Structure 1
Amino acid sequence: MARVIMQAVVSVDGFIAYPDDSVGPLFDWYFNGDTELRATASGWTFPVSQTSAAYVQPFWDAVKVTVIGRHLFDTTNGWDGKPAAGDELVVITHRPLPDEWLAAHPDAPFHTAGSVEEGIALAKELAGDGLVDVTAGDIGGQAFSAGLVDEVGMDVVPVVLGEGVRFFGSHTGTVLLDDPDQVVQGDRVLHLHFTVRR
């Protein structure tokens, strides 16, 4: 059965972007090393530290399906039809994807769902025994609040943004996580992994 992880790069004070969706220094660690990190589906490469590559590459390779919201889809233009991670992508949206985008990317392995619950169920079906990566922020927070997230992955960057898009979106309330089972210090980033306590 597929596992669902909520994951993102995050500031020390819990933000994944500024209010205008820009990431400022959060992604600097993607460009500060000499070891290639490759996103297989998109073909993107990033020169990161050897330590970060050794942690992130197996994670990216394990992702089968990514779940995002319509806002991220629109902000990134759906990554031009190539999932940032995994073989397929599920967009949570109440509107159909734009006709012009669909025409430009007829073979894009993208699916839509009308709710977080429906989207996670579809992603798990598509992923089989693989990993489902739900992006942090509003959609991830909804999935987390609904008890649909099994794991939390955070790439914590040593910066305080002060405001912006919260890692856990609008989630409120206490949820216990197990102790971190992975703590990896990269160059200007700390990789953390937790399992949600059931």
Structure 2
Amino acid sequence: MGMVIMNSAVSVDGFIADGNDDVGPLHEWYFTGDTPIVEGGGRQYDHSGVGSGFTVSRASAEYVRPMWEAIGAIVMGRTLFDLVNGWEGKPPAGDHVVVVSHRPKPEGWHPEASYHFVDDVTAAIGKAKELAGERTVAVNAGDVGGQILAAGLVDEVAMDVVPVVFGSGKRYFGGVDGRHLLEDPHVVVQGDRVLHLMFKVRR
């Protein structure tokens, strides 16, 4: 089985969006460089659902591209699914998506897409690992990501730290309870207006 990696862009004070789910400048680095993340371009969606080809700095591309290529499945919460309409059935990375939600997939929504709706984070990771095989399971940060971390199911935490202070909003780790130790960062990459960090979760 592949690793489970929790990931998101985040402000320096730990927020992935403001209280209205607006990501503000957190994703600007995805569009200000000259190096495409996905070879050949292609239509991609950011957190806000805006369609565009991701072009980043060379340093960010060299970090993000292999990470995205390794992803087999994404786990996301229902709030993000609704905000981006599930990226219209075409996730930015991976072939499968597992949505943690007490509500089923909207009737008639992109029946061709490999999107699976489950109501439990442990079941979500189990399904995502089954779908991903030896590839990585990527977990979107936020409340669902925090629950998955608290359940001991996250192997690594990846943060794209953007130099902005939000002051309040949606936390990277959601409402996670208790203390969770991470190892020293084993990846530190300076991009343009973003610092990429990866930490292994201490067991």
TM-score w.r.t. structure 1 length? 0.94
Count of aligned positions: 194
* AA in 2 matched with 1:155: D
Alpha-carbon distance in 2 for matches of 1:71, 1:10: 17
**Partners in 2 of 1:177 and 1:118 — Cα distance?**
24
After TM superposition, give the deviation of residue 78 of structure 1 in Å.
1.1
Q: Is residue 2:66 matched to residue 1:58? A: yes
Amino acid at match of 1:33: G
For 1:151 and 1:18, the matched residues in 2 are separated by: 24
Identity of aligned residues (%): 58
Contact 1:15 1:164 in 2 (8 A): yes
Structure 2 segments unaligned to the other structure (5+ residues) = 45-52
1:39 CA displacement: 8.4
More helix by share: 1
Q: Post-superposition shift, 1:46? A: 1.1
Q: Is 1:125 equivalent to 2:130 in the alignment?
A: yes
Q: CA deviation at 1:57?
A: 0.5
Deviation digits for residues 45-92 of structure 1 (CA, Å, limit 9, x no counterpart)? 211100000000000111100001111111111111112221100011
Q: Where does structure 1 differ by over 4 angstroms across 4 or more consecutive aligned residues?
A: none
Partner of 1:111, secondary structure, is strand
CA RMSD of aligned residues (A): 1.4
Name stretches of at least 5 consecutive residues in structure 1 with no aligned partner: none
Q: Tell me if structure 2 keeps the 8 A contact 1:7–1:136.
A: yes
Contact kept, 8 Å, 1:39 with 1:84, in 2: the verdict is no
Shift of 1:100: 3.7
Q: In the TM superposition, what whole-angstrom CA distance separates every residue of 1:91-128 from its partner, at most 9, and x where no partner exists?
A: 11111111142xxx120111111100100011011111
Is 1:92 matched up with 2:100?
Answer: yes
Shift of 1:43: 3.9
